[in-house]
Structure 1
């Protein structure tokens, strides 16, 4: 059977790997040509109504893992229920192309503590209703040969998370974002079905196919997961628009920023900082690096960075110091950074950053994604291919000096008789690394600073003691209460030595 012929058919009991993506793509195209049908919810009230603690008490038995002791990778499943009331279908595919759906089996789970009473209810109901799964997690010997670490999880809508060596889960990736921060509300596409190709015993990569669907779009996805020094995921996505889409968010990343070093309102918490990510990093087609420190705003903020064919963007957890968080349970300093690297030319568009107010660290309030300039209209098809890469604080290819600290305070002098209004701000930006490490403090480094409005004064550049880098300090005063969009880089005799620091100060921010 040729790939073209297979693509017009449903999955059969034997589907060769080389046409799997064609078949999923044909399924997605067919979905988009028909009216959207909402996935069915679980019909077991006991599962839908359980609380967080009871759901956490349901654990998949490690000895029941798919591919247990047959290779480097193992697969464990998530129980449906709680927030996950629309189960997904999960299939495995052998190297020879044999396709098998994984049935729900309560014997593969232990129901402990407050979940213990659920087991007989589920066992009784299982004969009357079919249950799928809430998702799955992938295990691999990432940190030691003696233990298979959890390295990736697909669970909920189109969300998935990955970690690299010695990291703990933090930010999430998503298959797609639609109309994020739009007045009419966001649409959340879901992965309805998965196919996981069983790796050979020594194989060090795992391939996952997924079918995505939502009222506006359907899509076929291929994920090639490669754990290692950095966990890398190659993503191939083919999308079909069922309706006109106002804002298409490609390769979306979702994270949390509650407070950090640049927060200037009182937080009643013993931890100096709480965040999964502390900045957005973007690399232009020309190789220019731009860093934007994240905030927890008082009001919703959406910022755009216009680019043509960017080389990449990502949300970073650049600050890895335990003493900056003092949280011995959450381990915020071990949260991964995640980089999106486009494959091919993505053309004109923008990287968008959405910052949503939150009063708790349990809410993800940061989203970033690529928005193509050309609108995605009903009946159209789009393809996007890219890499996702985990890392700690920095990318190997980033050789410029990097921002390590952003601090903001009132621009008054101590003891000043007639202090300025609190809208006058003292800004501190510290750089470190790159060429700065070898420079004498006597060299005439300059701050290349630009403002969209307002006025900057008292600009100084100094070398910090004990090899702590260089500091740019300046004060800004808004004009007519306008927001000030600032861009800053360190230069030496017109040669740029650092990435560009970008920040927006809102004069009417009630954090004052």
Structure 2
């Protein structure tokens, strides 16, 4: 049914109802239940577009049964190897806005390989929809087979470019591709950690539900604004959502995220602001490693600034079994997966350049209430898998028919704009200490520990087992402070460690948390 047919039908329904009432008395028990209204048509070229219209579209869609998107991907593209798929490129002069002096250029991305769900893409110009035609004319197919020109060929997402590093050279700073996955980077960086629109049932025994961004509406940027606004429709078996992303590339690339969710069913486990990254090994976790690289990870720790104002640093690890850590909080001030190690020598990898990958830091906007920050560490034996997940889980379930709106600012950066005023953890190193005992070396850096004459005390505890031989002393190489101790777990299989530096009767560092498992 097109837009004209829907409008005509909507006008005719009351007239038919009046005629029926004139012929026979109404029988409420036998009357059929009214069908849910179709959502506003935001896919018609020239249709008016607004954020409110997208929210109404998502709300009405949530009243209808979920329908998986129909694929228009040729069969040969569903099984394309990665190396062949990577040769498909958008034809350079088809890039949107490249020569319009708007500060941004937009490239669409092809379907194929693992990207099999179509994503419809439109621009918004003068508050009107301009649908991009889904055909193969956008692409040079490289070593991939060229699809039929007279049949639709789907998009899998898009990438946004700007003069990020050089004023006369546009390069990628953000990509939306696959499910609800997106990533961004700041000046001088390469892509690393990713984000998602929403997490649903992550880590649950019955499996995770993966929502999709079914369509994007991208506002044509105003010249000189520095902003790129992207609207997205989220759809999944149990909920829908309307998203608005405002992107500002730079020394810190900022992505403001506004979301409104409409559950079809009650959801007990949703994750807001989910981030995914990779940790294969590092100085705190090198068990069984035989590799020329010193460290392999896109992020090395979870930073939390909780609602009570406490700063927490939780080093990441690659455990032998799935580990889920829960940090109960109310109105968190910030959290993120950070890459603190910035030395090339630490990684020794000219290909991956983990030292140039971004940290991802979220600032909640408004009152997020009670909930939990959840961290999942999943075992992996390869650096291809994203085995680290972190997100905020609201305490209350999301009830069917409820409307939930939230907002946050995501910073893709070298160092987050928010940081502790105390000393921060610069390194965590572990090694064997005989038997089941493990030796820990934790370095702190910052002005609070720069004076070697300052009297500092390390407060180290463990949930079970025992802390042995704690020693703290200045580290002149860092102008910081080093704490060394042994953990004796006894017969325990999991120990939660906690440490903070104290001086003058109070804490002078962020809190170091660590989960030890054999």
Segment drifting more, 249-258 vs 466-475: 466-475
Match for residue 222 of structure 2? 200
Contact 1:447 1:488 in 2 (8 A): yes
CA distance in 2, matches of 1:468, 1:270: 29
Match for residue 192 of structure 2? 170
Q: So what's the TM-score if we normalise by structure 1?
A: 0.91
Aligned residues: 479
Q: So what's the TM-score if we normalise by structure 2?
A: 0.90
Segment drifting more, 182-191 vs 103-112: 103-112
Match for residue 249 of structure 2? 227
Match for residue 201 of structure 2? 179
CA distance in 2, matches of 1:460, 1:14: 70
Q: Secondary structure at the match of 2:514?
A: strand
CA distance in 2, matches of 1:102, 1:8: 21
Contact 1:446 1:461 in 2 (8 A): yes
Matched, 1:29 2:59: yes
CA distance in 2, matches of 1:468, 1:54: 50
Matched, 1:445 2:465: no
Contact 2:473 2:483 in 1 (8 A): yes
Q: Secondary structure at the match of 1:151?
A: strand
Distance 1:188 1:308, change over 3 A: same
Residue 108 of structure 1 and its aligned partner are, at CA, apart by: 2.5
The one of 412, 432, 451 equivalent to 1:410 is 432
CA distance in 2, matches of 1:175, 1:139: 21
The one of 103, 122, 145 equivalent to 1:72 is 103
Residue 384 of structure 1 and its aligned partner are, at CA, apart by: 1.2
Residue 131 of structure 1 and its aligned partner are, at CA, apart by: 2.6
CA distance in 2, matches of 1:394, 1:430: 20
CA distance in 1, matches of 2:437, 2:218: 56
| Residue ranges of structure 1 left out of the alignment (5+ in a row) | 1-6, 413-420
Give matches, 1:15-164, under 5 Å.
Answer: 20-70=50-100, 71-94=102-125, 96-112=126-142, 114-115=143-144, 118-119=145-146, 122=147, 124=148, 126-127=149-150, 129-164=151-186
Contact 2:85 2:113 in 1 (8 A): yes
Residue 229 of structure 1 and its aligned partner are, at CA, apart by: 2.0
Give matches, 1:287-436, under 5 Å.
Answer: 287-412=309-434, 421=435, 423-436=436-449
Contact 2:160 2:175 in 1 (8 A): yes
Q: Secondary structure at the match of 1:47?
A: helix
Contact 2:268 2:396 in 1 (8 A): no
Match for residue 253 of structure 1? 275
Residue 87 of structure 1 and its aligned partner are, at CA, apart by: 1.0
Give the greater-gyration-radius structure (CA): 2
Contact 2:39 2:61 in 1 (8 A): no
Give matches, 1:204-215, under 5 Å.
Answer: 204-215=226-237
Segment drifting more, 37-46 vs 139-148: 37-46
Matched, 1:460 2:485: no
Match for residue 21 of structure 2? none
Residue 398 of structure 1 and its aligned partner are, at CA, apart by: 2.8
Give matches, 1:455-494, under 5 Å.
Answer: 455-494=466-505
CA offset digits 1:251-286 (Å, max 9, x no partner): 100000011111131212211111000000000123
CA distance in 2, matches of 1:188, 1:8: 22
Match for residue 244 of structure 1? 266
CA distance in 2, matches of 1:382, 1:396: 27
Alignment RMSD, CA only?
1.6
CA offset digits 1:323-349 (Å, max 9, x no partner): 000000111000000111100010000
Contact 2:188 2:356 in 1 (8 A): yes
Contact 1:247 1:371 in 2 (8 A): yes
Contact 2:212 2:234 in 1 (8 A): yes
Residue 442 of structure 1 and its aligned partner are, at CA, apart by: 2.9
Distance 1:247 1:277, change over 3 A: same
CA distance in 1, matches of 2:212, 2:200: 11
Residue 14 of structure 1 and its aligned partner are, at CA, apart by: 4.7
Distance 1:324 1:393, change over 3 A: farther
CA distance in 1, matches of 2:417, 2:465: 34
Contact 2:45 2:131 in 1 (8 A): no
